[in-house]
Chain A
Amino acid sequence: MEKISNLILPVIVVVIVVFGAVKKINVFDCFIEGAKKGLVTFTNILPVLTALIVAVGMMRGSGGLDLITKIFSPIAKLLGIPIQVLPLCIISPISGSGSIAVFEDILRNYGPDSIAGRVASVIAGSSETTLYTTTVYYGSVGITRTRHTIPSALIADLVNFVISSLIVKITFA
């Protein structure tokens, strides 16, 4: 499995570049043009991340994060989710940048190869911001009665947290 994992990125890079060349595209210029867009994204997310990292840092510094974690820890234990990952579970349906901030905090404090670090990685790699997506998509077409959208999506998120914890325990334990 590890060998396959190591193959994914190189294969993606080669396939994209070679396919581009076969289609007679100036791959280098095209890459540069796209990479500039990365810079735009960077300037867009820096202020947002600053705001959220300050808030998460304050929560950790003041001990507020520990307080929240303690409150929710019985539920987490019941579902098999490592308690260190709880802050990520709470913020991930609400804010994408918030998730990055909390995810980084978990990696810094527990290490990327700890159980908590790995569960957080799997969750961060397999979820989208439920509430943001819902708001943008329905907002754009003026729909206010979303019926069972949010319950379905949030239940899926909860399943994601449980499954991610379970998979990490099976794969890496």
Chain B
Amino acid sequence: MISYVWLSLIVFSFIAAIINGTFYELSASIISSGTDAVQLCIKLLGMLCLWSGLMNIAEKSGLTNLISKLFSPLFSLLFPRLKNNKHIMGPVSMNITANLLGLGNAATPLGIEAMKRMKEVSPLDRTASNEMIRFVVLNTAAIHIFPTTVAVLRQSYGSANPFDIVIPAWISSMVTLSCGLLMTRLLERERWKR
């Protein structure tokens, strides 16, 4: 997928340069982009290490587990059919917690585990069950307690207050999440009971 996107961006740029006669600008941007990429990564590196370090402490000390336990009643509300199934709800709440803390690398394997366990109880073979759909949608609209990358980049471009978008981002993701879940509810018509 991303391969096609990349290809089309490059080809489209070339076509646009023919239309606009902007080959000088195009050449200049190709040369400067390599440096830009390295500079961007350097900017992110510090926070990346800091955050990974902190989250390692959170994981080893059991804080992540604790948060996941605190939130699990809330997650049970979202999956009424699975709420008594600890085998499934375990990875589900760990996955959501990891997302909340911005631990993308930890969240993905937990999410996959949750999907596998949901599939075990689903009567459908290659078709997604309602629970799976709700879970995936939940993952595509994750709330981050602290959007680190955003804050770092804002600061590096001289924002007066790089953190002032954190609360608006929470509100926005909560509304988004509710809409996503509402959509899954509305489109659920097709029952999978059989």
**Contacts A61-B25, A156-B177 known; A125 to B150 CB distance under 8 Å?**
yes
Instruction: Establish whether residues A58 and B150, one from each chain, have CB atoms under 8 Å apart when the complex forms.
Output: no
- Asked whether any CB of chain A lies closer than 8 Å to the CB of B82, the reply is no
Instruction: Establish whether residues B136 and A134, one from each chain, have CB atoms under 8 Å apart when the complex forms.
Output: yes
Closest CB of chain B to A35's CB: distance in Å? 4
Instruction: Establish whether residues A49 and B22, one from each chain, have CB atoms under 8 Å apart when the complex forms.
Output: no
Instruction: Establish whether residues A125 and B22, one from each chain, have CB atoms under 8 Å apart when the complex forms.
Output: no
Q: Which of B48-66 contact A (CB under 8 A)?
A: 48-58, 60-63
- A36, A42, A54, A135: the one within 8 Å of B1 (CB): A135
Q: How far is the CA of A19 from the CA of B166 in the complex (A)?
A: 24
Residue of A nearest to B5 (CB): A94
Q: How far is the CA of A19 from the CA of B171 in the complex (A)?
A: 28
Q: Which residues of B contact A30 (CB under 8 A)?
A: 53, 56-57, 60-61
- A53, A60, A107, A124: the one within 8 Å of B37 (CB): A53
Count contacts on B: residues with CB < 8 A to the other chain: 103
**Contacts A5-B161, A17-B57 known; A124 to B147 CB distance under 8 Å?**
yes
Give the A-B pair count, Cβ closer than 8 A: 353
Count contacts on A: residues with CB < 8 A to the other chain: 106
Q: How far is the CA of A89 from the CA of B105 in the complex (A)?
A: 24
Q: Which of A125-141 contact B (CB under 8 A)?
A: 125-138, 140-141
Q: Which residues of A contact B84 (CB under 8 A)?
A: none
**Contacts A16-B63, A33-B56, A38-B50 known; A112 to B159 CB distance under 8 Å?**
yes
- Asked whether any CB of chain A lies closer than 8 Å to the CB of B14, the reply is yes
- B33, B44, B166: the one within 8 Å of A8 (CB): B166
- Asked whether any CB of chain B lies closer than 8 Å to the CB of A79, the reply is no
Residue of B nearest to A13 (CB): B54
Instruction: Establish whether residues A34 and B56, one from each chain, have CB atoms under 8 Å apart when the complex forms.
Output: yes
The residues of B with any CB-CB pair to A shorter than 8 Å are 1-2, 5-6, 9-10, 12-17, 19-20, 22, 25-30, 32-34, 36-38, 40-41, 44-45, 48-58, 60-63, 99, 105, 108, 111-112, 115-116, 119, 126-128, 132-133, 135-137, 139-147, 149-151, 153-154, 157-173, 175-177, 179-180, 183-184, 187-188, 190
The residues of A with any CB-CB pair to B shorter than 8 Å are 1-2, 4-6, 8-9, 12-13, 15-17, 19-20, 22-23, 25, 27, 30-39, 41-42, 45-46, 49-64, 67, 91, 94-95, 98, 100-101, 103-104, 107-108, 111-113, 117-118, 121-138, 140-149, 151-153, 155-157, 159-160, 163-164, 167-168, 171-172
